[in-house]
Amino acid sequence: MKKIIRVWDLPVRVFHWLLVLCISGSLISVNLGGNAIEWHAYFGYTVLTLLIFRIIWGFIGSTHARFASFLPSREKIFSYLQGKAPRVLGHNPLGALSVFALMIVLSVQVFTGLFVDDEVAFQGPLAKYVSNSLVSILSEIHESNSVLIYTFIAIHIAAIIYYQKFKGEDLIKPMISGDKEIDPSEEASYLPSDLGRASKDGALQRGLALVLLSLIAVVVGYLITK
């Protein structure tokens, strides 16, 4: 019988899929242009809210949601690349690098987006507080940074396909159900301490996340409409 361990709590799963939805909507709306640019901005504000939540949740969330549980080190990365590292329930070292890299480029994107002014259909809510030269610089960064976002998304999708096809590991199912199924024959490849670190995902955990996300949404909404 397979051992079922809760790895991703509901807040992390909701964050992940809302982020996928918002990034997709943002990319589609910006390419449509015209009035759709307003939706592009709304998706961007939502991504900003989600990122702030995830950063905070990375310190106070459940076991495998915390950055401390998957913070990659040079030794861990080299050991993993050499095939010497034990398997992990959460993000492996390369997956962790991908997570941090994507969060950084998305943070740059939403931050610069607050200052964008295309002088036609959209002006970021903070553009009026800085000089025109700075607005121009940040607008260029916002446009150029999108290339990095496309790149990391492509790498992320490629990694999912690679693990599914060549390692027989489904990375999508646990992000839907929250659980990882461990076959008894595979338990020896994990650290015993890791197998005993299931994530808490009860009503208290979810309630805290909902309150936190709501507060962040209110603050972001206030700042962009002030």
pLDDT in tens, 153-163: 999 999 999 99
pLDDT in tens, 118-127: 777 788 999 9
Residue ranges of domains in the chain, CATH in brackets: 3-225 (1.20.950.20)
pLDDT in tens, 196-213: 899 999 999 999 999 999
E strands present in 88-186 = 179-182
Residue 16 confidence class, pLDDT cut points 50, 70, 90: very high
Q: Is the pTM of this model over 0.85?
A: yes
Region 62-77: mean pLDDT is 92
> What are residue 87's phi and psi, to 5 degrees?
-70, 155
Cβ neighbours of residue 114 under 8 Å, at least 6 residues apart?
48, 124, 125, 126, 127, 224
pLDDT in the model for residue 33: 75
193 pLDDT more than 80? yes
111 pLDDT more than 90? yes
Q: Parallel, antiparallel, or unpaired for β 179-182 and 3-6? A: antiparallel
